[in-house]
Amino acid sequence: MRRVVRGFWGPRPESEQELAVRWSTFLTRLSEIEPAVFGAWEPIGDVRAAGPDALAAYLRENNVGDDWSDRKGYAMALATPAANPVKVTVSGTGGGVSEHLAMSVVVTVTAPDAGPSLPYAGILRALAEAWDVDWGEVTETELQLALEDDGREPGQACLGWAGYLSERRAALLGEHGVPGKAEPTEHGGLLLDLSGSVADVADLVAVNRDVRSTGALEALPRPMDRAKL
């Protein structure tokens, strides 16, 4: 089974050290959720031992060259050890100020079908709170294709098996009914866990179509001039 947890936001200038603190916070929270899966990463090793200073050095060393610009932001790419039965990659770019290129963090999990399910809503919460994202989701290829077929536009937010809405998006949703559990988060956002309340991808497409009518899933205005809606 392959699941993707991801979050997006617009331009927000941040230094290597500020980004390293976010990375350290996020990876540490992942290790607390499931130590056996998220405890060590290549090439940095144990995130608790690495710490923000080592992560800042990694960002500096790996974001250089003629094609790099601080407008694009600082990229990071990590993977769990190859011997792990659950394969995880984490990639992201933050600190950029481009009006056209969204910042993001993406966690891709490939796990045996017979294995226990990971707490994906908890992973999304950790991502959303560590990175103060505009919106986020737990998704898969089948769902993304179905949403595109249903008319989802590029850059538009969407809800997966779990979804995250930043403060203004949550306010636009208001009391509009959404199946599943809704929990407030840091930064005034809202975590929506739909996993136990929708039966299949078709149901999720219908939920997205309904929530889209509230304005809570609107894309950031282009050119982007803010990190969140």
Q: What is the band of 129 on the pLDDT scale with cuts at 50, 70, 90? A: very high
H-helix or E-strand spanning residue 192: strand 190-193
Q: Structure pTM? A: 0.95
The residue length of the chain stands at 229
pLDDT at 145 over 90: yes
Q: What is the band of 82 on the pLDDT scale with cuts at 50, 70, 90? A: confident
Tens digits of per-residue pLDDT, 36-70? 899 889 887 776 667 899 899 999 988 887 777 78
Token pair listed for 75:
């990229």
Between the ranges 24-33, 47-56, 61-70, 129-138, where is the mean pLDDT highest? 129-138
pLDDT at 166 over 90: yes
| Contact between residue 7 and residue 133 where contact means Cβ atoms under 8 Å apart | yes
Tens digits of per-residue pLDDT, 177-199? 899 999 999 999 999 999 989 98
| Contact between residue 100 and residue 42 where contact means Cβ atoms under 8 Å apart | no
Burial group, residue 207, by CB count within 10 angstroms (0-12, 13-18, 19+) = buried
Please report the pLDDT score of residue 154 as a whole number: 87
Q: What percent of the chain is predicted at pLDDT more than 90?
A: 77
Please report the pLDDT score of residue 169 as a whole number: 98
pLDDT at 114 over 80: no
Please report the pLDDT score of residue 67 as a whole number: 74
Please report the pLDDT score of residue 44 as a whole number: 77
pLDDT at 132 over 90: yes
Helices (H), 15-163: 16-33, 35-38, 47-62, 120-131, 141-149
Closest CA to 174 of 217, 214, 205: 214
How many whole angstroms separate alpha carbon 98 and alpha carbon 96? 6
Please report the pLDDT score of residue 26 as a whole number: 96
pLDDT at 22 over 90: yes
pLDDT at 214 over 90: yes
Q: What is the band of 13 on the pLDDT scale with cuts at 50, 70, 90? A: very high
Tokens 């219908």, located at residue: 206
